[in-house]
Amino acid sequence: MKARHLLLCAGMTVCALAVPVRAQDSTVKTDNPPRDIAPANGDRAQAPEAKHICGTLKDATEAAIKTDGFDNLVKRFVDADRDRIKKYDLSKQDKDRLNDRIKSIQTAWKAKYNHDFDIDQPKLVFDDSFRIVQGVVGEPQPAAGHMPGDTTDNTPKIDPGLPDTTPGPQADKVAGGDVNREQGRKVAKVTFPASHGLPVLYVPLIREFPDSWKIDVPDQVDGQKLYTNLIDQLTMIDNMKDQWPTDVNDAYRAVSHHVLMAVMDQTADTTKTGDKMDNMPPADNTGK
Whether the per-residue pLDDT at 12 is higher than 50: the answer is no
* Average pLDDT of the chain to the nearest whole number: 73
Sheet holding 201-208, edge to edge: 18-19, 12-13, 131-136, 186-192, 201-208, 212-215
Whether the per-residue pLDDT at 55 is higher than 90: the answer is yes
Find all residues with CB under 8 Å of 9, minimum gap 6, and list them: 21, 23, 28, 29, 30, 34, 135, 138, 156
- Mean pLDDT for the stretch of residues 164-188: 54
281 preceded by cis ω (within 30°)? Answer: no
Could you give the C-alpha distances from 181 to 4, 41, 200, 210, in angstroms and in order? 8, 36, 26, 15
Cα 69 to chain centroid distance, Å, stands at: 19
What is the pLDDT at residue 34? Answer: 30
pLDDT band at 183 (very low <50, low <70, confident <90, very high): confident
Residue-wise pLDDT tens digits, 126-147: 998 999 888 888 744 444 333 3
Residue-wise pLDDT tens digits, 216-239: 999 999 999 999 999 999 999 999
Domain ranges of the chain: 54-124+221-273
* Amino acid at the residue 279: N
285 burial (CB, 10 Å; 0-12 / 13-18 / 19+) is: middle
- Mean pLDDT for the stretch of residues 268-274: 44
Distance CA(26)–CA(28), nearest Å, equals 5
Judged by DSSP in three states, 108 sits in: helix
Judged by DSSP in three states, 175 sits in: coil
What is the pLDDT at residue 250? Answer: 97
Distance CA(100)–CA(89), nearest Å, equals 18
